[in-house]
Amino acid sequence: MRIGQGLDVHPFSDDTSRPLLLGGVAIPGGPGLEGHSDADVVLHALVDALAGAAGLGDIGTLFGAEDPVHVGAASSVFLDGVLGQVAARGWAVANVDCTIVAERPRIGPHREAIAASVARLLDVPADRVNVKATTTDGLGFTGRGQGIACLAVALLLPASAA
């Protein structure tokens, strides 16, 4: 088995028309997050966790921000890409666990939808995906409501065992 961890952070965008995406789910009420792609911190952290577990580097190595092809890209494209590389190395997702760090928006009402979306994107049963949320009680940039962070852990098993 192999384990990887991921962390992603994005500030809120000044562009009020930019959607807020978490785990592939559009969260109403915005604002969205600033980034080169769609800035989905959940999927970015998952890409890093999966890449790390498979020894593939990180999201920047695999899908560099300097590449214009990734401007505005859906983070699900990055997730698909890393999943293909994980599978090519003989691994399969056993489970993932994500922690969203945000003062706003409240994640609780969206947690199940985010987990279901992640499970669908990973093509795993829903019970292999856990999503939770926390705040920093007013401390740091997330505590001041300036952005969102996500931590992710992924466990991979040989594809023959999954």
- The band of 119, judged by pLDDT with boundaries at 50, 70 and 90, is very high
**Quick one: average pLDDT of 1-7?**
98
pLDDT in tens, 56-90: 999 999 998 777 787 889 999 999 999 999 999 99
CA nearest neighbour of 148 among 5, 6, 8 = 8
CA separation (Å) from 93 to 25, 74, 142? 21, 21, 29
**Quick one: average pLDDT of 108-124?**
98
Task: Report the largest interatomic distance among the alpha carbons of the chain, rounded to a whole angstrom.
Answer: 47
Q: Residue 65 belongs to a domain with what CATH number?
A: 3.30.1330.50
The number of domains in the chain is: 1
Cβ proximity of 4 and 153 under 8 Å: yes
pLDDT of residue 147: 98
Q: Put residue 69 in one of left, alpha, beta given phi > 0 → left and psi -120 to 50 → alpha.
A: alpha
Residue 46 C-alpha from the chain's centroid:
4
pLDDT of residue 30: 76
Round to whole Å and give the CA distance between 52 and 33.
24
**Quick one: average pLDDT of 90-117?**
97
Q: Which domain holds residue 146?
A: 2-158
- Predicted TM-score (pTM) of the model is 0.96
Kindly compute the dihedral angle of the four CA atoms of residues 100, 2, 125, 26, in this order, to the nearest 10 degrees.
30
pLDDT in tens, 6-58: 999 999 999 989 999 999 999 998 799 999 899 999 999 999 999 999 999 99
